[in-house]
Amino acid sequence: MNLELRKIQIRDVVFGDENKIENNILSLNRISLTELIKEDKRIKEVDFDIAKPGQSVRILPVKDVIEPRAKLNGDIFPGVFKEHMEEAGTGITYVLRGCAIVTTGPIVGFQEGLIDMSDPGAEYSIFSKLINIVMDITKEEYLDPHEHEETVRLAGIKLAKFIGEIALGCDSYESELYEWKSIGKKYEEYYGLPKVAYVYNCMSQGLLHDTYFYGRDTKHITPSMITPLEVMDGAIISGNCVSPGSKTTTYHHLNNAVIKELLKKHGKEINFMGIVLNPLMVTLKEKYRNCMLSVKNIEMLGAEGVIISQEGFGNPTTDLMVVCQSLEKRNIKTVIITNEDAGIDGMSESLPDSVTEAKAIISTGNSNATIMLPKVDKIIGRLKEIEKTTGGNVDSIQEDGRLLVEIHGIMGSHNLQGNTYLSATTI
């Protein structure tokens, strides 16, 4: 399996008469974008805006963030728009770096968050460093929350694909080549290096808490062995409204920091054997079943060490812990990545579940810590929705325009795939 990523660095995004990339400046025609998105008759109104790093701009409530991408021959995000699909992780994919699609509009579920483009909130989110093409969607009144979520999700992916395709004629890009070999060849080629695998937990709990793999809701699949190139090429997209701080957006999936580090060390310090995608389920029986199947797949990969990342908080910590416990009991050394929910004073129990076998834990910080965000010059979206989101409350909006929120409320602030600036130390 071979994948080439042709990365085009976008220096600026503007609205203009045509859709084009010229001198690394992305120009977008508002009318054509509106016509594209309103092909879905469930969308009543749509508006577009641009938020740039350093601007006094606040975006909320944010539903998803997607990096614009397109295949030279084939479909990016396979399984989303067509019944027939090709395997992700092969061929040539164009990537527009430095910009992203951000979806907003009336709130779907209470667990949506904000992006600040300037200090101090900007220091908690990688999205503040991107030029964000913000799409504000208003649904038709008859849609229920689940159809509302689907409408916004598909609109974001559709726009990311459309804008990504503007790059297909560009000849100025940075090329990255990736090769993924079979398990047998990796054994043979890097026999002396420690064999490491990655358990990729993904939200699959229904109630607006879902992830999609090749277009299929992951709560309907069992743990599966997948390749990192598939993840990097759009096989997984976000469809959930979990806590914004720990939410894995589609951008996070495409740019998973754990995968990037494992690939960087592959063949040098470790032998990266593969990934097990583990759906995080609701009932204890389903959790134990998926734990058993995940561990079986890890053993089939021959891994001696494993990294497990989490998504969400609360009962997903049980999935994290039982998989860690089962692996450690089989003498497979395991490192887990989780956040802490230690209360605003940091004195509460940090984790809702734990096992003695979890001896190597990477913390992405206390999500309950609070921050006072300054008044900004421009709001894209609806400020009042902060009262109904995780990390906010009815007292969040101050009389002088400032905003008091928990770190939880900032999109991706303690992302559990490593795309974060926040961490913790032992004192």
Q: Tokens in use for 248?
A: 């894995």
Signed CA dihedral, 70, 74, 77, 82: sign only: positive
Torsion of CA 192, 193, 195, 200, to 10 degrees: -160
- Written as six digits, the tokens of 265 are 């060390």
322 closest CA partner among 349, 284, 348: 284
**Are the C-beta atoms of residues 76 and 139 closer than 8 Å to each other?**
no
Residue 186 has pLDDT above 80, yes or no: yes
Here the tokens at position 235 are 């096989």
Residue 335: pLDDT band (50, 70, 90) is very high
| Tokens read off for 310 | 């989490």
Instruction: Report the alpha-carbon angle 312-370-339, nearest 5.
Output: 30
Can you say how many angstroms the Cα of residue 197 is from the centroid of all Cα atoms in its chain?
Answer: 20
Strands 91-97 and 2-9, how do they pair? parallel
How sure is the predictor about 379, in pLDDT bands with cuts at 50, 70 and 90?
A: very high
Percent of the chain with pLDDT over 70: 97
Indicate the pLDDT class of residue 161, thresholds 50, 70 and 90. very high
- Say what the pTM is: 0.95
Q: Does a structural domain hold residue 168?
A: yes
- Enumerate the H helices of 114-182 as residue ranges: 145-165
Angle between helices 30-37 and 145-165 (to 10 degrees): 140
DSSP letters spanning 236-282: EEE-----TTT---HHHHHT-HHHHHHHHHBTTTBEEEEEEEEEE-S
**Model confidence at 426, in pLDDT bands (50, 70, 90)?**
low
Q: DSSP states of 334-357 as a string?
A: EEEEEEE---TTS-S-S-S---TT
What is the pLDDT of the chain when averaged over all its residues? 92
Sign of the dihedral defined by the CA atoms of residues 82, 204, 141, 100, in that order: negative
CA gap 98, 353 in Å, rounded: 38
On whether residue 57 sits in a domain, the answer given is yes
**265: how many CB neighbours lie within 10 A of its CB?**
14
Q: Looking at the predicted structure, is the pLDDT value of residue 342 above 90? A: no
Angle at 88 between CA 179 and CA 156, to 5 degrees: 130
Sign of the dihedral defined by the CA atoms of residues 333, 339, 345, 348, in that order: negative
pLDDT of residue 427 exceeding 70: no
Tell me how far the alpha carbon of residue 154 is from its chain's centroid: 15
Confidence of residue 420 (pLDDT cuts 50, 70, 90): confident
In contact, 100 and 156? CB cutoff 8 Å: no
Does residue 367 carry a pLDDT above 90?
no
Inform me whether the pLDDT recorded for 332 exceeds 80.
yes
- pLDDT tops 70 at residue 6: yes
Give dist(CA 407, CA 219) in Å, integer.
Answer: 28
Q: Note the pLDDT of residue 287.
A: 93
Is residue 244 in a domain? yes
- Inform me whether the pLDDT recorded for 278 exceeds 70: yes
Q: What integer pLDDT is reported at residue 423 of this predicted model?
A: 72
Please tell me whether residue 386 adopts helix, strand or coil conformation. helix
Which residues share a beta bridge with 287? none
Q: Which among 112, 302, 306 has a CA at the least distance from the CA of 200? A: 306
Query: If you ran DSSP here, which 8-state letter would residue 375 be given?
Result: P
Q: Tell whether omega for the bond before 228 is within 30 degrees of 0, i.e. cis.
A: no
Q: Which residue type occupies 178?
A: Y
Q: How many helices (H) and strands (E) does the chain have?
A: 8, 25
pLDDT in tens, 170-181: 989 999 999 999
Pairing of strands 195-203, 271-280: parallel
8 A C-beta contact, residue 91 and residue 72: yes
Mean pLDDT over residues 38-47, rounded?
96
In a domain, 313, yes or no: yes
Greater model confidence, 420 or 61: 61
Is the predicted pLDDT of residue 70 greater than 80, yes or no?
Answer: yes
User: For residue 400, what are the contacts with CB-CB under 8 A and spacing of at least 6?
Assistant: 375
Q: Rounded to the nearest 5 degrees, what angle is found at the Cα of 92, between the Cα atoms of 90 and 93?
A: 100
- What is the pLDDT averaged over residues 78-104? 94
pLDDT, one tens digit per residue, over 384-418 is 989 888 888 899 999 999 999 999 899 988 888 88
Question: Of 202, 241, 291, 324, which residue is the catalytic one?
Answer: 241
Q: How many domains does the chain have?
A: 1
69, 86 in Cβ contact below 8 A?
no
| Residues 244/114, Cβ–Cβ less than 8 Å | yes
Average pLDDT over residues 346-372: 83
Q: Is the pLDDT of residue 260 over 70?
A: yes
Q: Among 38-47, 90-99, 308-317, 346-355, which is the least confidently predicted range?
A: 346-355
Higher pLDDT, 367 or 198: 198
Residue 345 has pLDDT above 90, yes or no: no
Segments in 166-210 forming alpha helices (H): 183-189
The whole-number pLDDT of residue 347 equals: 65
**Domain assignment present for 183:** yes
d(CA 242, CA 367): 13
Query: Is the pLDDT confidence value at 151 over 70?
Result: yes
Average pLDDT value for residue range 5-20 = 97
Tokens 């969040």 locate to 396
pLDDT at 354 over 90: no
| Residue 115, domain member (yes or no) | yes
Sorting pLDDT into bands at 50, 70 and 90, what band is 314?
confident
Per-residue pLDDT of 192-247, as tens digits, reads 999 999 999 999 888 788 999 999 999 999 999 999 999 999 999 998 776 888 88
297 falls within a domain: yes
* Distance in angstroms (rounded) separating the CA atoms of residues 398 and 395: 7
Residue 324 is among the residues annotated as catalytic for this protein: no
- Which residues form the domain of 391? 2-409
Q: Is residue 414 included in any domain, yes or no?
A: no
